[in-house]
Amino acid sequence: MKKVLPLLLAVVLLTGCSRTPKEVERALALRTRLLQASTCAFDAEITADYGEILHVFRMNCTVDDQGGVSFRVTAPESIAGITGTLSKQGGELTFDDTALYFDLLADQQLSPVSAPWVLMKALRGGNITSAGVEKGSLRISVDDSYEENALNLDVWLDSEDIPQRADICYAGKRILSLNLENVRIS
């Protein structure tokens, strides 16, 4: 009996450890929805933090079934109308008389205009490192890759598990923030 009791205790404890927390299940359900969707569309207000300078702009974004993002800048007026596409193969910008230029962030790896693509890449396949409820919203933390220079994202979901806000961090510092509106996953 003395030998069986520790074994039984170990089985009970290990079985409890293998249970996936409800918050992580919700994050994984969002991932499944995004991977099965033919499109995901949203409006994004993006803030790029350069330390002493903040650049804020708005975009309409559409994500295809492969995770590629097409966008149209809507504000500020000085750069409105610029369109582009982003994917893991690269990006392309289209404009008439106005050029879109932002200094690169994250040790020259990331342009602020690529924030929606980074968000979708992380939600569709990044490493979910934690999930929990914060002020009524589900907050998930995701690394965009398994590499040493990974971007870390904190994403807040509403009660319907739709992304509403995200912070993209590099080396422990928030470099980009996204506020999402009119999110449609279909």
Can you point out the beta strands (E) in the chain?
39-49, 54-64, 69-75, 83-87, 90-94, 127-134, 137-143, 152-157, 163-170, 173-185
Q: Domains plus CATH for the chain?
A: 21-185 (2.50.20.10)
* Total residues belonging to the chain: 186
pLDDT digits (tens, 9 = 90+) for 139-159: 999 999 888 889 999 999 999
- Say what the pTM is: 0.87
- Cα–Cα dist 180/11, whole Å: 44
pLDDT digits (tens, 9 = 90+) for 24-55: 999 999 999 999 999 999 999 999 999 999 99
Please give the pLDDT value at position 100: 67
Please give the pLDDT value at position 4: 43
Sign, Cα dihedral of 23, 25, 30, 35? positive
Please give the pLDDT value at position 66: 95
- Cα–Cα dist 180/58, whole Å: 10
pLDDT averaged over 10-residue windows placed end to end, the chain, 186 residues: 44 48 96 97 97 95 96 93 90 70 87 95 96 94 89 97 97 96 98
